[in-house]
């Protein structure tokens, strides 16, 4: 199995919405974004699938060293070897990859967030930085596109947080800010015991409104000149926004079941969005 095959397999097995957006990219960009995604999966799995915190932390430290070796041209892991090709073809910054690891390490050290500003740092490291790396792969000409990437990353991560309240609680984690839990009268113990309530529904509606504000801000920052290059991110935004709408229409019953789109619907949204952006691009020309 080649390094690219390894990354492709990692991405395909995840079942993530990201995979559907990659299908419409040219070969070189597709190789790079799949390598980036595989890296994110590796470090995320190190936190979520390794029960021993010390072992998980050592694994993240190993990945930090592997990144140094990768940027020096001497990787040992298949993902690192695939990333070398991406690094040679695109302006990818090592410090961004390190920030992603820092975000994953926060999950080992912090199981709740006092205020949104602390959660925003986590979202930046876990998602917005990935967006900034992705923008480099897709290509841009206006620096406002970087603000688009930052805001879209926040929106996507907040959508994940809303969708995964139950799964995160089962791991002992609560990403909803503590001061907002108190504001809406939601008890931490109720979330950890997987209880639903009208108060939790109101809190999740508040979080959904916040996520939608970030989606809106992202689109406002994206210049027309870069829309076609960033169509993969727009596909992701469409899929995640549709997921958020489904959760909202379901009454935020996230404690009872996980809301997700079917693979066929994700593929349909991806095709429809890609087609719309291509038509828009042709009109600009």
CA distance 17 to 265: 11
Same domain, 269 and 222: yes
Per-residue pLDDT of the chain (285 residues; tens, 9 = 90+): 899 999 988 887 766 666 667 777 889 999 999 999 999 999 999 998 888 899 999 999 999 999 999 999 999 999 999 999 999 999 999 999 999 999 999 999 889 999 999 999 999 999 999 999 999 999 999 999 999 999 999 999 999 999 999 999 999 999 999 999 999 999 999 999 999 999 999 999 999 999 999 999 999 999 999 999 999 999 999 999 999 999 999 999 999 999 999 989 999 999 999 999 999 988 887
- Does 95 lie in the same domain as 83? yes
User: What pLDDT score does 187 carry?
Assistant: 95
Assess contact for 166 and 152: CB atoms under 8 A.
Answer: no
78 and 28 belong to one structural domain = yes
**Alpha-carbon span 271 to 285, nearest angstrom:** 21
Which of 109, 144, 178 terminates a domain? The answer is: 109
CATH number at residue 86: 1.10.600.10
| Domain span at 122 | 111-285
Q: Which of 190, 196, 242, 193 is nearest to 215 (CA)?
A: 242
Q: What's the pLDDT score for residue 281?
A: 87
Same domain? For 147 and 227 the reply is yes
If asked whether residues 74 and 120 sit together in one domain, one would say no
32 and 59 belong to one structural domain: yes
CA distances from 263 to 20, 71, 240 (A): 8, 35, 13
Q: How far apart are CA 78 and CA 6, in angstroms?
A: 7
Residue 19 confidence (pLDDT): 67
207 in the same domain as 164? yes
CA 44, 50, 51, 52 torsion-angle sign: negative
Give the whole-angstrom CA distance, residue 227 versus residue 260. Answer: 26
């Amino acid at each position: 199995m080649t390094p690219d095959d390894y990354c492709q397999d990692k991405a395909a097995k995840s079942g993530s919405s990201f995979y559907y957006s990659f299908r419409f990219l040219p070969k070189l960009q597709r190789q790079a974004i799949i390598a980036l995604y595989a890296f994110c999966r590796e470090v995320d799995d190190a936190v979520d699938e390794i029960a021993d915190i010390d072992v998980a932390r050592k694994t993240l430290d190993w990945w930090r060293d592997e990144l140094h070796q990768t940027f020096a041209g001497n990787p040992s892991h298949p993902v690192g070897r695939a990333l070398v090709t991406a690094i040679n073809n695109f302006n990818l910054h090592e410090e961004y990859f390190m920030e992603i690891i820092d975000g994953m390490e926060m999950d080992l050290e912090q199981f709740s967030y006092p205020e949104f500003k602390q959660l925003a740092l986590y979202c930046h490291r876990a998602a917005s930085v990935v967006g900034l790396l992705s923008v480099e792969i897709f290509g841009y000409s206006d620096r406002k596109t970087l603000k688009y990437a930052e805001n879209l990353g926040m929106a996507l991560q907040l959508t994940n947080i809303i969708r995964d309240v139950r799964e995160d609680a089962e791991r002992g984690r609560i990403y909803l800010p503590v001061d907002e839990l108190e504001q809406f009268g939601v008890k931490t113990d109720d979330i950890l015991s997987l209880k639903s309530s009208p108060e939790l529904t109101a809190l999740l509606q508040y979080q959904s409104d916040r996520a939608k504000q970030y989606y809106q801000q992202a689109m406002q920052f994206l210049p027309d000149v870069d829309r076609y290059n960033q169509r993969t991110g727009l596909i992701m935004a469409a899929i995640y926004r549709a997921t958020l709408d489904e959760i909202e229409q379901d009454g935020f019953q996230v404690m009872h079941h996980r809301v997700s789109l079917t693979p066929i619907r994700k593929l349909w949204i991806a095709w429809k969005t890609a087609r719309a952006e291509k038509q828009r691009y042709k009109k600009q020309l």
